[in-house]
Amino acid sequence: MQTDNDRTYTSLDQVILDPLFPAIDHRLRTGAHIDMDDIRSYEFLLQAEPLLQVFYEGYACRLANGQEGYFYLLSEGDLLGRRRLSGAEMLVGQVLALLRMDPAYLKKGGQIPIEQILSHLEMLLGRQRLVELLAPRTRGRDAEMDNKKIREAVDKAINGLARLGFITIERARESVIAGRSIARFTEPVRDAREMSAALEELIKLGEVELDDEEQQNEN
């Protein structure tokens, strides 16, 4: 028997028979990111990583380990499905990655108020662009209706990101805490290369997809 503190796996069957495996496997297959804050699951993945790589290769998948300390599964074939995040999720994710780099949220335990996400989105994109992206309409404009639609889109994106383990929602405080895996949103700008070159490489790795049009009704 292995203990939690001294877990070593020498074969795949030991990994699969570990009681932690089914839940972690299911989470990974549904797109979840597992980071060091979930210490038991993270430790399990860290110990079992070489064996799980082989296991997931059979499904044409890759178990990725982000440098900030998190795991996720990427499907590179057809056996397990994959999807891309929605445009709103991408925007909210990027803004959260940016806000996580702001020391102002340290003394609040990393809590980022949803209001701050909304105000940063507007500040960075400009009102018109934000409306185009999150509250598109074919006819007429109504500021109140736009605000409502933007808020709905942001809330939906927040819920989606939380399901994928990028963030934790603090509903009582109307705020979110961004986890380590939010750093995935910084991948294309991590080094000084042109963003297009970085994206090209990420596409090859199956991390990213490009499109000329944002698809509003995804997810």
Partner 1 sequence: MKHLSVADSIAKTWSLDFTLQLDREDAAFLAGIHIWLTINPDPTLDEDQLRNIYRIVGEVAHSDPASSVLRATNAIARLREQRLMVRTDTAGIIRGGEYSLSRMGNAIAEWFGEQEGLTRKSLEIIMTQIRAGLGQIKVAAEAGGDDDHWESQVSGPLKLTVAQLIEGIERRQQGMDVQQEQIREGIESMLEENWFEAVLSCEDLLVTTSEALQELHKVLMHEVEGMSSLLGEIEELCEKNLRPESTEAVDHVRRQIERIGGWGENRFATWSEYYQNVHEFIRSVISVDPDRAVRTRLRDAIKGYGRPEFWFLNVCDQAPYVHLRTDSDDRPSPAVERKVKPMEEMVEEAGIKLVPLERIEEKISEKLRCDGRVDLFDVLSEHISGHTIHEVYTLAGELAEWLIKRGVPLPFLDQSWHPLGNGIEIQTLTVRKREP
Residues that bind partner 1 (CB under 8 A): 28-31, 61, 67-69, 72-75, 80-87, 90-91, 93-95, 97-98, 100-104, 106-107, 109-110, 124-125, 133, 164, 180, 183-186, 188-190, 192, 195, 199, 206-214
Length of the chain: 219
Give the nearer residue to partner 1 in terms of CB position, either 51 or 90.
Answer: 90
Give the nearer residue to partner 1 in terms of CB position, either 43 or 68.
Answer: 68
Task: For the CB of residue 150, give the shortest distance to partner 1 in the complex, in Å.
Answer: 15
Task: For the CB of residue 17, give the shortest distance to partner 1 in the complex, in Å.
Answer: 21
Task: For the CB of residue 1, give the shortest distance to partner 1 in the complex, in Å.
Answer: 30
Give the nearer residue to partner 1 in terms of CB position, either 15 or 121.
Answer: 121
Task: For the CB of residue 196, give the shortest distance to partner 1 in the complex, in Å.
Answer: 9
Give the nearer residue to partner 1 in terms of CB position, either 7 or 66.
Answer: 66
**219: part of which helix (H) or strand (E)?**
none
Contact 196, 210 (CB under 8 A): no
Rounded to whole angstroms, the Cα distance separating 80 from 82 reads 7
Instruction: Return the SS3 of 183.
Output: helix
Sign for the CA dihedral angle at 193, 84, 93, 179 comes to negative
Contact 93, 185 (CB under 8 A): yes
Rounded to whole angstroms, the Cα distance separating 91 from 95 reads 6
Residue 176 CA from chain centroid, whole number: 13
Give the nearer residue to partner 1 in terms of CB position, either 20 or 90.
Answer: 90
Looking at the DSSP assignment, which residues form a beta bridge with residue 73?
63
Instruction: Return the SS3 of 167.
Output: strand
Task: For the CB of residue 217, give the shortest distance to partner 1 in the complex, in Å.
Answer: 14
Task: For the CB of residue 2, give the shortest distance to partner 1 in the complex, in Å.
Answer: 27
Give the nearer residue to partner 1 in terms of CB position, either 14 or 206.
Answer: 206
Q: Which of 118, 111, 95, 120 is nearest to 168 (CA)?
A: 111
